[in-house]
Amino acid sequence: MKYPLLTIDPGSTGTGFAVWNRAGKMPHSFGALTPPARWEWHEKLGAIVDTMTQQVMPNLSGTFVIEWPTFMPDSRKGWTAAQRGGLVKLSAIAGALLASYWRWDVHMITPADWKGQLPKKFAHRELRKSLTKKVREEMEQMPDHTWDAVAIGVWFLEGQP
């Protein structure tokens, strides 16, 4: 695997990321890109991609792991999001990020890949156990997308793919 490792949990209201510059369970940096809610979704997409590629991770190569949008037919939330165009918007954001990092060693994964059938709150609880106190405290105020991006990275570094 080539460093840096960048893991992404895309979202139309916020996109979580985590960066590892070397081997180890603890990320070097992490956060969420959350454009203002009043912006049109294409403006949010542009802001997320620009910030990610110009400020967070402008490197020319590394390993890129992104959670690919997946329709959840057994979920009411999945159907509602699909009916409102959420899956299309999410796919556009994921696709734009993927296009930005196409030179990297790219891995597209699904939620089932990294968390199996665990509900999000249980996956986050398991992640908390593996983090140092400092990282855990920094992450406590972070949105779910950030927790997911860090969990994806920990899963990837444990050799799951």
Compute the chain's Rg from CA coordinates. Answer: 15
- Is the pLDDT assigned to residue 161 strictly greater than 50? no
- Residue-wise pLDDT for 127-145, tens only, equals 888 888 998 899 888 999 9
Domain span at residue 83 reads 5-157
For residue 73, report the phi and psi dihedrals to the nearest 5 degrees: -65, -20
* DSSP letter assigned to residue 66: E
Distance, in Å, from the CA atom of 47 to the CA atom of 56, rounded to the nearest integer, reads 12
- Predicted TM-score of the model (pTM): 0.87
Which CATH number is 132's domain given? 3.30.420.10
Report residue 156 as tokens: 């990837």
Query: How many domains does the structure of the chain reveal?
Result: 1
Q: Give per-residue pLDDT as tens, 75-125.
A: 676 666 666 767 788 888 888 898 888 889 999 999 889 888 888 888 888
Q: Where are the alpha helices (DSSP H) in 52-85?
A: 76-83
21-66 residue pLDDT tens:
887 778 999 999 999 999 998 898 899 889 988 888 877 789 999 9
